[in-house]
Chains A and B, each alone.
Chain A
Amino acid sequence: MTPFSLKIVTPDGVRYDGQAEELVVRTTTGDVGILAGHINYVAPLGMGEAAVLVDGQKRYGACIGGMVSVVNGAVTLLPTTFEWADEIDPDRVEVSREKAEEILQNNASGTTDILLAKARLKRALVRKSVYSRKNR
């Protein structure tokens, strides 16, 4: 497949900068696959898995928030946080998930706490599912 240039940059640094053959990300309206020669495009990102095809090899990452854009053939992914599957710490994810569930099950939690906990739970679940793809 024809490669295109892909950049994944987060506030913590550059996570990927190079050629890729395919990018699949979850936008707020659903999963989107991008191949070379895509039309100029912008979409806000949701929370979900990102899959990048590099040299016929699929790499998975947990991609949360931000935006994806294609400008003149160059694809830029600007998430708030991004971790490759092998960078995820499963213990931390589990702790985060338990804490979020605790808050959700507690009737005394305020509305903002519940919203934050829901987002946290979602992030933990995304990371968990990405981590499970690590060894495939």
Chain B
Amino acid sequence: MAGVSTKEIKNRIRSMQATRQITKAMEMVAASKLRRAQSQVLSARPYFEALYGTIHDIVDANSDFASPYLQKRDGNKVLYVVIAGDRGLAGGYNSNVFKLVMAELAGKEATVLPVGKKAVEFFKSRNVNTLAVHYGDAANVSLGDCFTVAKLLSKAFLKGGYDEIYVAYTSFVSVLTQTPAVLRLLPLIRQETGKEGERVSDILYEPDSVRVFEEIIPEYLGGMLYGALCESRAAEQAARRTAMDSATSNADEMIDKLSLEFNRARQAAITQEITEIIAGS
């Protein structure tokens, strides 16, 4: 009776150790990938911020609204670029973005451009209209790809294919915190700052505002997409590292508990045997 139970416990300990080894390895891999992704984010972030800041300064100072990129439309056709990961086992990383996007999509005539295998699969299973599924590999999307997508998107926007374009990504706040976010890319809507002194006064556009925006907006979109991608990648690794770290410590705890149980069962078996021998003699 006791012999069967010690064997069972032994097997469970062994399988737990195997799992622990896997989670530990995944944690280490994520940690080393995180370091690379983190340095990429840190170098891309100033560009991301400067680009966003400058474009918004320019838009806020614009007074002729001649460019179609600055005009708000009443339509309901929206496009979401959703950046998620290629693999699971990263805590809530993928599902947090999806939850946010699904909530935003409600009641809109929406199309999604998924980036990352998980995103492609998720929107396929939900029967959401998707565009170009060939960005199924988030880890290999390059800066060049971002600019290609940006050009396509701005063309589609000008043609009236979409009235609004958003990007959904996960922002890498720190190694321990990552928050999903949705950012509107187009149209660029002018914000009234209210304080006249703070507003940038008239801007000289060369050759003219329509053509300046025509040239700059695809660059802006490309830069923003790249920035969002860098943030998401770092966030994915950080989320995976944290998830695997807690999985490893859970496994450790489990192994400790089972070892204790195993030793008790073994001791009980020995005690019983001795008792039987003494009683028999």
List residues of A whose CB falls within 8 A of some B CB.
7, 9-14, 27-29, 32, 39-44, 65-67, 69, 71-72, 76, 78, 80
Contacts and interface: CB of A to CB of B under 8 A. Distances in A.
B201 interface: yes
10 contacts: A10-B47, A12-B47, A14-B43, A27-B206, A28-B215, A29-B206, A39-B203, A39-B204, A78-B47, A78-B223
A44 B204 contact: no
A56 B218 CA distance: 36
A9 B205 CA distance: 21
Contact of A11 (B47, B57, B206): B47
B185 to A, nearest CB: 16
B66 to A, nearest CB: 14
A67 B204 contact: no
B119 to A, nearest CB: 22
A67 B223 CA distance: 12
Task: Identify the interface centre among A41, A44, A65, A72: most chain B CB within 10 Å of its CB.
Answer: A44
Nearest to B50: A9
B147 interface: yes
B151 to A, nearest CB: 12
A14 B46 CA distance: 7
Contacts of B216: 42, 44, 67
Contact of B58 (A9, A11, A39, A42): A42
A65 B54 contact: no
Contacts of B204: 39-42
Interface of B: 43-44, 46-47, 50-51, 54, 57-58, 61, 143, 147, 200-207, 212, 215-216, 219, 222-223, 226-227
A41 B206 contact: yes
Contacts of A43: 205-206, 212
A40 B206 contact: no
Contacts of A13: 43-44, 46-47
A72 B215 contact: no
Contacts of B227: 11
Given A29-B207, A42-B216, A71 B54 contact: yes
A66 B202 CA distance: 21
B50 A32 contact: no
A32 B206 contact: yes
Q: Give the 5 A-B CB pairs with smallest separation, nearest first.
A: A44-B215, A13-B43, A40-B203, A43-B206, A9-B47
A63 B139 CA distance: 27
A1 B1 CA distance: 94
B17 to A, nearest CB: 43
Nearest to A10: B47
A44 B215 CA distance: 6
Nearest to A69: B54
A6 to B, nearest CB: 12
Contacts of A67: 54, 215-216, 219
A14 to B, nearest CB: 5
Contacts of A69: 54, 57-58
A40 B200 contact: yes
Contacts of B43: 12-14
Given A40-B203, A44-B216, A78-B47, A11 B61 contact: no
Contact of A44 (B50, B57, B212, B226): B212
Contacts of B54: 67, 69, 71, 76, 78
A67 B54 CA distance: 10
Given A9-B51, A41-B206, A66-B219, 6 more contacts: A13-B44, A42-B58, A42-B204, A69-B54, A71-B58, A71-B200
A11 B44 contact: yes
B206 A42 contact: yes
B82 to A, nearest CB: 21
B206 A78 contact: no
A100 to B, nearest CB: 15
